Chains A and B, each alone.
Chain A
Amino acid sequence: MKDGRKNEPEVLRIRSEPATQDWNVQELLERVEGDRRLMRELLVMFRDENQRTMETVRVSMEERDLARASRAAHAMKGMLKNLAMGATAEIASSLEAAARNGLLSESEELFGKLEQALAQILPQVKAQLIEAQV
């Protein structure tokens, strides 16, 4: 594994507060330099892509292919960071590290947390998309 490091403390850094409170739409808007069309494009990408990426993580864990699960979690982390979803990105980051270090049960637990966080954040994304359409 390219970046594999055992027993990193970051595995244990799991946020407990709801991730949805952490979505900073203003930060995202600044990142796209006020280009709402681009923001919408990115959100559509995220809406379409996140399920596929989560499915990759889930299947990889089922097949005990934690390296692949880690790579998919890394991709999820990248998307979330770009969209200014900091707390959820932190969970994805922890999942990436846990999977990279071969910690299956921690990975499964973090996967559940990530699913929960996404379940809260996705309705907000959809609301933003509807708002942007108006």
Chain B
Amino acid sequence: MKVLVAEDDTLSRVLLERTLQRAGYEVTSVDNGERALKELQKEEAPRLVLLDWVMPEKDGVDVCRAVRDIKGHAYTYLILISSKERKEDIVQGLESGADDYLTKPIDGDELKARLRAGERILELEDRLVEAREDMRFRATHDLLTSLWNRGVIVELLSRDVTRARRENSCTAVMLCDLDHFKSVNDHHGHGGGDDVLREVSRRLHASVRSYDLVGRYGGEEFLVVLNKCEPASAITRAENLRNAIAARPIMAAGKPMTVTMSVGVALSTDFVSGDAGELIQQADMALYAAKGAGRNSVRMARPNTLQNADSDLKTGLRGDEASPVLSGRDTGCS
């Protein structure tokens, strides 16, 4: 465990360092409050701190206050050290944000016992943070694939579309559906189906940029959101996704199998008045067309979709006769 010692008196500092090192602590020491604060603002800073009260630059009480003002860091356990023993001094020290108080000269056994108490508090805090993070993850992610769950990916898409409109950029929505997934479950059981869903998720995630979003939209449906996507490259990006699945077999229940995916694409710049819901709907219709075109392919929704959707879905899409964007062939799925 790392400990920071801030003590301006060399003799006291050396004594503390040796006592702590002998007890197995990894000690960093500084000789004034300003340096202590700098150490505590670093990544991976010690979380157990012994602070002398009277120090140049910033005293121990100042450091306590400043540490408590730092947001976002894990909790730091602060022990003030001083020769002040009056009740009001102790109260002032604790009120400044210190967790504990030791008086000089320091008894080695007492020091170690108080540090162990500090470690217990930090462990408790770590467990609480871990439990909170776990709950947060469960509330926002699909537990099988670890992708964003449906509610969150739709919400994130909604924010992204708003941002794209404000910044005059394009967000591409890609609704991806595994072809013949039912037969995967029929032939390999649900365990095999889960293997496929996990691997598809991993490949989709690996195929996009760190700031793009991938979520599980439904059973075997995935929603991919590419922000700041050049409209001209959207089809290529969708093709990359499709190919990431089809190019290599996936191990399902210990056996390799070919899996393919159809993709429907909608661009926010093509539906300028539409919200996230409409973009998903457009991408869904494009996906429907991709399925109709033989699966393992990509289709893009066009702006006139809404006008023609009722009469003929295909006319609302970048149709076969006019479209340069169709790709792929149905490689089938076992």
Instruction: Give the B-binding residues of A (Cβ under 8 A).
Output: 2-3, 31-33, 35, 38, 41-42, 45-46, 49, 71, 74-75, 77-79, 81-84, 93
Are B15 and A71 within 8 A (Cβ)?
no
Are B12 and A82 within 8 A (Cβ)?
yes
Smallest CB separation, B105 vs chain A (Å): 4
Smallest CB separation, B34 vs chain A (Å): 15
Of A33, A71, A83, A93, which contacts B19 at CB under 8 A?
A33
Instruction: Give the A-binding residues of B (Cβ under 8 A).
Output: 8-12, 14-15, 18-19, 22, 54, 59, 83-84, 89, 104-105, 107-108
Task: Say yes or no: A45-B10 contact (C-beta < 8 A), given A2-B54, A78-B83.
Answer: yes
Of B14, B59, B83, which contacts A42 at CB under 8 A?
B14
A46 to B107, CA, bound (A): 19
Smallest CB separation, A30 vs chain B (Å): 8
Query: Which chain A positions have C-beta within 8 A of B9?
Result: 75, 78-79
- Among B10, B22, B59, B104, the one with the most A-chain Cβ atoms within 10 Å of its Cβ is B10
A7 to B16, CA, bound (A): 33
Smallest CB separation, B25 vs chain A (Å): 14
Task: Say yes or no: A42-B15 contact (C-beta < 8 A), given A49-B10, A82-B104, A93-B83.
Answer: yes
Query: Which chain A positions have C-beta within 8 A of B108?
Result: 31, 33
Smallest CB separation, B2 vs chain A (Å): 21
Are A41 and B14 within 8 A (Cβ)?
yes
Query: Which chain B positions have C-beta within 8 A of A71?
Result: 54
A35 to B22, CA, bound (A): 10
Query: Which chain A positions have C-beta within 8 A of B84?
Result: 3
Of B11, B19, B59, which contacts A79 at CB under 8 A?
B11
Q: Lowest 9 A-B CB distances belong to which pairs?
A: A81-B105, A78-B9, A45-B11, A79-B11, A82-B105, A81-B104, A38-B18, A78-B12, A75-B9
Are B14 and A31 within 8 A (Cβ)?
no
Query: Which chain B positions have C-beta within 8 A of A78?
Result: 9, 11-12, 83, 104
Query: Which chain B positions have C-beta within 8 A of A42?
Result: 11, 14-15
A83 to B11, CA, bound (A): 9
Are A82 and B15 within 8 A (Cβ)?
yes
Are A81 and B83 within 8 A (Cβ)?
yes
Of A35, A49, A84, which contacts B11 at CB under 8 A?
A49
